[in-house]
Structure 1
């Protein structure tokens, strides 16, 4: 059965559309299970019915026309309980519902299993038989296993239709929504521009073109280039390989012939497809066909085709890179996994929104998006993003939703939301130069997190009192090699000068986890528990000392530098880091620079560091909590994994108790404590953080005025009463509800939408 299962899954995966996939399923499953009927019912949310979408054994004229209400019949029973129903005599079951159009009255036995994707029941897979027949455990398990494997394929095919404005049963639809995770708040309406990695056939988006001749010309040139490369390779190594291996080069050349792959690609281009997309579609069709072949030799040829077409794609992309990329005025950047470098390629004034299929609301690109104030949706796993290019989309960064083919009514509604947000921001401008002080006189310092020079300008405009976190890895991520000491010093000097005499806290290089340098790859099975942060730089003191020297050099004459150490888990790491920083200082002083030892601090991001806070405070000048990673490690939830994103919350009681412990331990040693994670920029979280006693809240500039408005609207006494109440609660939802009510009572409910991202 395993071989049959694998064959069916491969064949369904190769289908080009939903209907083809469903026809393959019903035909092959009926054969595999030696039964007389196999049918697929899919839920159509537009009409709230389960629609018979494909069948082998029932009347074909009923397919696409027969539907059942959500709770109707045995199909409804399977869907409602999300579990199999196996009946020897279906007609005797009280839930049985007779459908005369299908001709199913002659079939007695029934086995239905749910098709479930991401906890949602998409539909029901059914087999039926004329004679009384009890489908055995093995058959039921086979159908359940098959259903589970095919759920993703069906969901993807449904989503592709939805983005074209068509429901599973063929109904026209608008305002198609795809759920993700909020990466950065706000709303964006714009044109989708799909970006993708180099030479990956699987990720090339669908795109239409008007200049067909230009695409044909580019494709012909790429083909000729690869043919030339193959001939040269054959000539170079021809004497070193066996004759039969040399014959493979001729096979490759014939594959690229105008009567083979070349012709198929050209035909698709002539239909209006761009060359890269046409090549990817043809190549992947052939790869799938060869992968399904029984003969091992022929099956291995799939790799040859993929390699060959990847070479052609690479040539196409190289020629495409020579042309300047034009971005629409309102660009929504879309990709399977967006990287910071991709954001930098779009002119800032044109970039209005971001959509990333992978990643979560606390992945690095989301943090960067919040810094830049760009509405972002992460983890939109079901989004058929390759079909989005050139389409108008709406990015709802508040709810984490992407809308394809939006109606005019929806556009108008979201334009009103954008206008309301702009009015709110303008209304807060009056408090820019006012102190951040509670109604009963308790003052809190609001600092900012930065990574780019553009962040600094925005931060000063919003009244920031200092930089609580300068992410020094951002310049490293945007470079093609490790920046030199002089290059780093120039970048750091800009930040320090712009904020002088206000303090600037520079975190030493924090790579690893979800922040990989392209020129310094770190391959690990579990990167978040591996080689990252201070562990990397202590193992590479040449990198650490160059950065420490650059920081201290940049501070000459300004004296507003603070250095912070990330991912510290033990006291030895603190000792080793301080020794390297002291060595850098001593070397610079010996070179004649007038510099002094900057304050040193540690980031509390790990549970181990939480319980070492007091001991660390005896060695350093300040501590700062990184709430993003602390939440991740406290809850054992990968913050980049959208499948468990609903488990990631800083309002978890364990996280709140850990934060309070850090504040109490730091203050017991007389050391200031700040927080620079995303909690600090959430107006709801700010109430609790102030009550806990955090001296500094450091956040993205875009949220600073909202946090200030909340703090200025409450008393410290009320915030402390709220903290006392929520510390006795046992679940994040109750805690969140209590905070929302406090904000409502304080008269700042207009800020609630902006705080829904936590």
Structure 2
């Protein structure tokens, strides 16, 4: 029996045989070609194929994991179209008469080296992305297909690491759990594993030996252990633990229709987060009280041009209608940082996470902002809509937003278009907003605390950087103090305060949030019932 330790991505128990995942081997060789233009044309065709593959991966991830996880493939498409990257490949083929495979590899390594040497952590992370798109091009040029899972029965997938594209492409019905030697608990792959709702371990101290292939294994997402060839008593205990966990999950279904009330009578609203219209089914099935975060960015992604007012109206109307009067809180456009959209023609930034993004773009481009607001207000006639604005740092911004909102309402009234009253709130996701929340609370009707960015900005840690996992602490006292301050300041002005970031689903903090007086928690539909149980147990 071999026992290994890793970092848990998702709780749960999986028991099955190991499938050792290896990328298909390809021996790269430099060759001299006779016709450079024909070789460039071959490369261009491979690039077209790669773009099509990335679009398919984007759509697949959007459907299975939501738009935040799908964004990585939009970033890859953008990098694949980079003029400097492509000119370098073409130059090597023309000037050095180098075969396309080797030219792509050399360019990829050069660009990856440039990114890796930068001081900015976001740009350093792009090093892996440029290598990923280069490998994709090389596989297409060489005729090497994507690796799948060659097994008839579901398996415990063991790998060195998995790229987002590899994770998305896999047949989810064949995966019981994922165990990787490398990776980060905050990586895109980890988030994708969570969205699949299967136990997963990263940074596991396991050797990737051929002899492990086909061996029986236990993945324990509670203790972060991976056991190969478990002894009989260990296997029996694991089976028992798995049965108890599944029993608990079944018991959670009995909480549907129950109130989110503590034993001493404190009530909290429990809503769900969505990324697109297809997620509404999950919300309804989870028995959430409403939608606490509708990420509207997905409407703008995977397109060649801005969505029209009519296109947006149809989407908002469908969501509001299907929620049958339950509140739907729509976050206005939040692009920038790692969510790039080509047709917005955003400038290159050294530190995009702190740059031109979210409400800053909307206030700078009021025509785009007003189109979205008009669509939301028109759709409000078909349900209960609320709007929240991301990345707020000042009272001045809110007052400017309210001016634009009034302009939109006046225009619609003059046009004879009906709309319902819409609650206006802001996301508190910058330390600045939390610190001046007493002043901001006088301007809006609710706060929704975005703990993902609030943690990142407060701790000055890029949560995607696996080298900083040991420093990243979402339970940091500074974060909890900022949340408490925001709740208290909101209540002083008579507005409600919710949390829509990852911490909302952390049941080890549910009591803390209830004690703080948080009015609403908005989580992934998967976690609605487990958070309801945590509330009812207080």
TM-score (normalizing by structure 2): 0.69
Post-superposition CA distance 1:250-309 (Å, at most 9, x none): 9637x79xxxxxxxxxxxxxxxxxxxxxx89xx78xx99xx9xxxxxxxxxxxxxxx999
Q: Counterparts of 1:247 and 1:699 in 2: how far apart (Å)?
A: 50
Instruction: Provide the secondary structure at the position in 1 that maps to 2:293.
Output: strand
Instruction: Say if 1:708 and 1:308 are closer, same or farther in 2 by CA, change over 3 A.
Output: closer
Alignment of 1:298-317 (within 5 A): 313-316=139-142
The aligned residue for residue 549 of structure 1 is: 374
Q: Counterparts of 1:327 and 1:485 in 2: how far apart (Å)?
A: 47
Shift of 1:475: 4.6
Q: Counterparts of 1:388 and 1:606 in 2: how far apart (Å)?
A: 50
The aligned residue for residue 229 of structure 2 is: 407
2:469 pairs, out of 645, 653, 658, with 645
Shift of 1:400: 5.6
The aligned residue for residue 118 of structure 2 is: none
Instruction: Provide the secondary structure at the position in 1 that maps to 2:470.
Output: helix
Q: Counterparts of 1:249 and 1:659 in 2: how far apart (Å)?
A: 58
The aligned residue for residue 356 of structure 2 is: 531
Q: Are residue 668 (structure 1) and residue 495 (structure 2) matched?
A: no
The aligned residue for residue 23 of structure 2 is: 206
Shift of 1:568: 0.8
Post-superposition CA distance 1:586-643 (Å, at most 9, x none): 4444444321351111011111101221221221111111122222222222222222
The aligned residue for residue 463 of structure 1 is: 287
The aligned residue for residue 53 of structure 2 is: none
Q: CA RMSD in A?
A: 4.7
Instruction: Provide the secondary structure at the position in 2 that maps to 1:602.
Output: strand
Shift of 1:411: 7.3
Instruction: Say if 1:497 and 1:391 are closer, same or farther in 2 by CA, change over 3 A.
Output: farther
Q: Counterparts of 1:577 and 1:369 in 2: how far apart (Å)?
A: 37
2:521 pairs, out of 671, 686, 697, with 697
2:244 pairs, out of 388, 395, 420, with 420
Q: Are residue 185 (structure 1) and residue 11 (structure 2) matched?
A: yes
Q: Counterparts of 1:652 and 1:308 in 2: how far apart (Å)?
A: 39
5+ residue gaps, structure 1: 1-173, 195-204, 209-214, 235-244, 257-278, 292-306, 715-758
Q: Are residue 561 (structure 1) and residue 385 (structure 2) matched?
A: yes
Alignment of 1:7-156 (within 5 A): none
2:333 pairs, out of 509, 516, 530, with 509
CA contact (8 A) 1:565 1:603 kept: yes
Instruction: Say if 1:485 and 1:457 are closer, same or farther in 2 by CA, change over 3 A.
Output: same
Instruction: Say if 1:607 and 1:420 are closer, same or farther in 2 by CA, change over 3 A.
Output: same
Q: Are residue 633 (structure 1) and residue 460 (structure 2) matched?
A: no
Alignment of 1:48-447 (within 5 A): 175=2, 177=4, 179-180=6-7, 182-187=8-13, 206-207=23-24, 230-231=37-38, 252=97, 313-316=139-142, 320=145, 330=154, 338-339=163-164, 360-362=184-186, 366=190, 370=194, 373-377=197-201, 380=203, 397-398=221-222, 403=226, 406-407=228-229, 409=231, 416-447=240-271
Instruction: Say which is worse superposed, 451-460 or 392-401, in terms of deviation.
Output: 392-401
Post-superposition CA distance 1:501-528 (Å, at most 9, x none): 1101111122334444476677433332
1:495 pairs, out of 312, 319, 336, with 319
CA contact (8 A) 1:206 1:386 kept: no
The aligned residue for residue 440 of structure 2 is: 616
Post-superposition CA distance 1:179-200 (Å, at most 9, x none): 34x4443345687697xxxxxx
Post-superposition CA distance 1:181-236 (Å, at most 9, x none): x4443345687697xxxxxxxxxx6337xxxxxx99xx99xx99x866545779xx
Post-superposition CA distance 1:631-684 (Å, at most 9, x none): 222222222222222332233222222111111111111111111122221222
Instruction: Say if 1:478 and 1:338 are closer, same or farther in 2 by CA, change over 3 A.
Output: farther
CA contact (8 A) 1:451 1:474 kept: yes
Q: Counterparts of 1:206 and 1:449 in 2: how far apart (Å)?
A: 35
Alignment of 1:447-486 (within 5 A): 447-477=271-301, 482-486=306-310
Shift of 1:581: 3.4
Shift of 1:425: 0.8
Instruction: Provide the secondary structure at the position in 1 that maps to 2:382.
Output: coil
Post-superposition CA distance 1:372-397 (Å, at most 9, x none): 5344456x498899999998887654
Instruction: Say if 1:473 and 1:567 are closer, same or farther in 2 by CA, change over 3 A.
Output: same
CA contact (8 A) 1:476 1:517 kept: yes
Q: Counterparts of 2:222 and 2:371 in 1: how far apart (Å)?
A: 41
Alignment of 1:722-733 (within 5 A): none
Q: Counterparts of 1:447 and 1:228 in 2: how far apart (Å)?
A: 61
CA contact (8 A) 1:604 1:630 kept: yes
CA contact (8 A) 2:498 2:520 kept: yes
CA contact (8 A) 2:320 2:382 kept: no
Post-superposition CA distance 1:7-57 (Å, at most 9, x none): xxxxxxxxxxxxxxxxxxxxxxxxxxxxxxxxxxxxxxxxxxxxxxxxxxx
Instruction: Provide the secondary structure at the position in 2 that maps to 1:509.
Output: coil
Shift of 1:330: 4.2
Q: Counterparts of 1:388 and 1:483 in 2: how far apart (Å)?
A: 53
Post-superposition CA distance 1:337-375 (Å, at most 9, x none): 755x77665566556556788875456665565455344
Q: Counterparts of 2:331 and 2:453 in 1: how far apart (Å)?
A: 15
Q: Counterparts of 1:352 and 1:579 in 2: how far apart (Å)?
A: 52
How many residues end up aligned between the 2 structures?
459
Instruction: Provide the secondary structure at the position in 2 that maps to 1:684.
Output: coil
Instruction: Provide the secondary structure at the position in 1 that maps to 2:381.
Output: coil
The aligned residue for residue 76 of structure 2 is: none
1:575 pairs, out of 387, 390, 399, with 399
CA contact (8 A) 1:371 1:455 kept: no
Which structure is larger by alpha-carbon Rg, 1 or 2? 1
Instruction: Say if 1:592 and 1:684 are closer, same or farther in 2 by CA, change over 3 A.
Output: same
